[in-house]
Chains A and B, each alone.
Chain A
């Protein structure tokens, strides 16, 4: 969902005269939404701007986006060559019974976060 939301925001900015480049981990969702410039990084969701704790990889990813900004004359997708790991196991397991997107615990934690945020908001509004 994050990729759709960001892609739609990028479209609004672009239509409003701001040049955009979006760094993605979910190529298909962004492409379907109609993204002006996409830098696709085939890493697990949560790492659109490069590998954690690897500043040089992050710089390379972002620089690829800046190059696209400078060179593109029409909507474009660039597939970066970096791999998350030697194995493709993470791709096979994501969102399966073995590795559901949210565990029961995570779903419960999510509900608690929502309830807490709502209570906090009510409290802030009550002030």
Chain B
């Protein structure tokens, strides 16, 4: 199958920009694995994404500050799972802007599809909130700070399953 090798291309890009060292991507041989323990129709499901967007009030004004990538502070934000998709506005800088404009939120944060799966009985329930964090160059920060906080909140809400979408 033909697809972009992003790691190689990143290295080429850094070299072409005159950098001696490229970014070193995380590499893990060990992979944690938790089998699905019960039917999806009995599971509580959440959505986690690095999509950069802001929630809008009913007049279309942003209700929160724009997210800053790579922050050293806790970077865990929520979006209520019953939030109206029309009141989400992408602020992404990290997509292929020659190919896609991020106008359709469901292509990267499938909130409407999640509710469809709830309505047709595919899922038992949805978590109260869906989760957002932004891309971070520090693998350690994600693994030791933001990841555990999302886990903590998911467990407190009784989440069994998470669908994740990177942007």
Contacts and interface: CB of A to CB of B under 8 A. Distances in A.
Contact of B107 (A17, A42, A50, A88): A50
B28 A58 contact: no
B72 interface: no
Contacts of B66: 113, 116-117, 120
A15 B28 CA distance: 14
B34 interface: yes
Given A12-B148, A21-B163, A46-B94, A34 B30 contact: yes
Interface string A15-26: 111111111111
Contacts, number: 263
Contacts of A88: 2
Contacts of B31: 11, 34-36, 75
Given A8-B143, A12-B148, A73 B65 contact: no
Interface residues of B, number: 83
A46 B102 contact: yes
Interface of A: 1-30, 32-36, 40, 42-53, 55, 58-59, 62, 65-66, 69-70, 72-75, 79, 84, 88, 90-91, 93-95, 97, 99, 101-102, 106, 109-110, 113-114, 116-118, 120-121, 124
A36 to B, nearest CB: 5
Given A21-B161, A45-B95, A50-B107, 11 more contacts: A2-B135, A4-B142, A9-B150, A13-B151, A13-B162, A19-B162, A44-B98, A46-B107, A48-B107, A48-B167, A49-B108
A49 B107 contact: yes
Interface in B110-167: 110, 112-113, 116-117, 122, 133-137, 139, 142-143, 146-148, 150-151, 154-155, 159-167
Contact of A20 (B65, B155, B162): B162
Which residue, B12, B31, B93, B154, has most C-beta atoms of chain A within 10 A? B31
Contacts of B106: 49-50, 52, 55, 58
B165 to A, nearest CB: 4
A102 B93 CA distance: 8
Contact of A58 (B3, B10, B13, B113): B113
B98 A106 contact: no
A14 B32 contact: yes
